[in-house]
Amino acid sequence: MKLLVIGSGGREHALAWKLARSPRVSRVLVAPGNAGTEREDGVANIALTAIPDLVEFARKEAVAFTVVGPEAPLAEGIVDAFHAAGLRIFGPTRSAAQLESSKEYAKRFMVRHGIPTAAYAAFSEAAAAHEYVDRTGAPVVIKADGLAAGKGVVVATDLERAHAAVDMMLTEGKMGAAGRRVVIEECLEGEEASFIVLADGRHALALASSQDHKRLLDGDRGPNTGGMGAYSPAPVVTPDIHARVMREVIQPAIAGMEKDGQPYLGFLYAGLMITGEGRINVLEFNCRLGDPETQPILLRLKSDLVRLIEHALGGTLGEVEADWDTRVALGIVLAAHGYPDAPRKGDVVSGLPAAGEDYHVFHAGTAVNGKDVVTSGGRVLCVTALGANVRAAQRRAYEIAQGIRFDGMQYRGDIGHRALAAGRR
């Protein structure tokens, strides 16, 4: 069978790579893909991005089903368009994707269905928002309501920063339409984890847990990014926490969407904050897999992903289990010069290794230029490796990363530091 993956990042390379390993798949097409998907065995790129063109392509090529990587096409209604054409696609409808595309929608949903999350209020008027900030005090978190590619959240440590964030979004309009409404919420402390499931509208199948590193620099300093590295599993998600997340977050979310009349089909990502006392709070829902979390997660997945998604599409996820490599997987993002503000394009990438049993170099912002692979986006590669423990996976991933070169390459030297600290506790 032929499959279609929508997107062009590291997450989509990992998805395409994993789907192509299924014995039942003849070819995975990626729209539009990157240099890594172009060169992957059994995978090919197609230069399409407009939804009507993708519908037409899937129909003409008799694609068995489509998997959507990023949030933007979901919020644009790609799933609705495929359904209207009678095509199979794995992802939430535009309306269900509001769980990610509107923070206020997500907060109301969580309150309505008793899912634990930080106290909040939402505003369109700057004066009322400023007054609320003065009343709650700092630290406080200011979030643009709409999609902002990971840049819409300000964790304000003092009142001055909180007021500046309110003005930036509501008065100066610097986040555009995404920041015309803001959610202001209580600042939570604890350890973050990414908890991602497949959902079929009624049942959920958990993927392995993971943790990412959002800040640009070592020691979790510097600006927020889309993610500079990730590993799986996340030690903070103990078997007890896992069971509670399923019971307190995932099951009420899936049941809540069904009750609200829009059963949730697709990957559902809960960004969690787990406090020292073991309290679980949802920071956000994403309607997709995480990037870069997907890269280490899928490197550990032993089951056939095609089969899992088919169960999800057929409403029988309750009948399957996923089988995981017991090793740890860890991925290091190699980012372009100038990332995250103004990533430079066109730098030639050299030293890319051949494929190996215990690692894979997933591409993100890369393009083919003649014989060369060149940078074409902020996050360029995610070097992902397996090891018997965090230390071994980390060592292996850095060993491979150090053989790769491009001008201006930036990466963190401490991916996995929290998991290592947890191991010492």
Binding site for ligand AMP (CB under 6 A): 118, 141, 143, 153, 155, 185-188, 192, 214, 271, 283-284
Q: How far is the CB of 360 from ligand AMP (least distance, A)?
A: 25
Select 40 or 212, whichever has its Cβ closest to ligand GLY. 212
Select 166 or 335, whichever has its Cβ closest to ligand GLY. 335
Q: Give the closest residue to 183 by CA, choosing from 171, 170, 173, 194.
A: 170
Select 71 or 200, whichever has its Cβ closest to ligand GLY. 71
Q: Which of the stretches 59-67, 170-178, 290-298, 345-353 binds ligand GLY when contact is defined by CB under 6 A?
A: 290-298
At 131, the amino acid letter reads E
Q: Binding marks (x or -) toward ligand GLY, 292..311, rule CB under 6 A?
A: -x------------------
Select 71 or 185, whichever has its Cβ closest to ligand AMP. 185
- Using the rule CB under 6 A, which residue among 290, 296, 387, 416 binds ligand GLY? 290
Select 21 or 151, whichever has its Cβ closest to ligand GLY. 151
Sign of CA dihedral 379, 382, 383, 388: positive
Q: How far is the CB of 300 from ligand GLY (least distance, A)?
A: 17
d(CA 89, CA 265): 9
d(CA 152, CA 169): 9
| Rg of the chain, C-alpha, whole Å | 21
Please give the residue whose beta carbon sits closest to ligand AMP in the complex: 284
Which of ligand AMP, ligand GLY, none has residue 340 at its interface (CB below 5 to 8 Å by kind)? none
Select 166 or 397, whichever has its Cβ closest to ligand GLY. 397
- Residue 117, strand partner residues: 282
Which of ligand AMP, ligand GLY, none has residue 153 at its interface (CB below 5 to 8 Å by kind)? ligand AMP
Q: How far is the CB of 149 from ligand AMP (least distance, A)?
A: 10
Cβ contact 3:67 at 8 Å: yes
Pair of tokens at residue 267: 């990957």
Q: How far is the CB of 349 from ligand AMP (least distance, A)?
A: 29
- Using the rule CB under 6 A, which residue among 104, 200, 212, 310 binds ligand GLY? 212
Q: Count of alpha carbons within 13 Å of 141, Cβ hemisphere only?
A: 19
Q: Give the closest residue to 29 by CA, choosing from 14, 15, 39, 16.
A: 16
Task: Find the length of the chain.
Answer: 425
> Binding to ligand GLY by residue 100, rule CB under 6 A?
no
Sign of CA dihedral 217, 219, 220, 223: negative
- Using the rule CB under 6 A, which residue among 40, 248, 291, 347 binds ligand GLY? 291
SS (H, E, C) 210-264: EEECCEEECCCEEEECCCCEEEECCCCCCHHHHHHHHHHHHHHHHHHHHHCCCCC
Which of ligand GLY, ligand AMP, none has residue 216 at its interface (CB below 5 to 8 Å by kind)? none
Which of ligand GLY, ligand AMP, none has residue 290 at its interface (CB below 5 to 8 Å by kind)? ligand GLY
Pair of tokens at residue 346: 């066109």
Pair of tokens at residue 289: 């897999």
* DSSP 8-state class, residue 174: T
Q: Which helix (H) or strand (E) holds 53?
A: helix 51-60
Select 185 or 200, whichever has its Cβ closest to ligand AMP. 185
Which of ligand GLY, ligand AMP, none has residue 227 at its interface (CB below 5 to 8 Å by kind)? ligand GLY
Please give the residue ranges that form the binding site for ligand GLY (CB under 6 A): 212, 227, 286, 290-291, 293
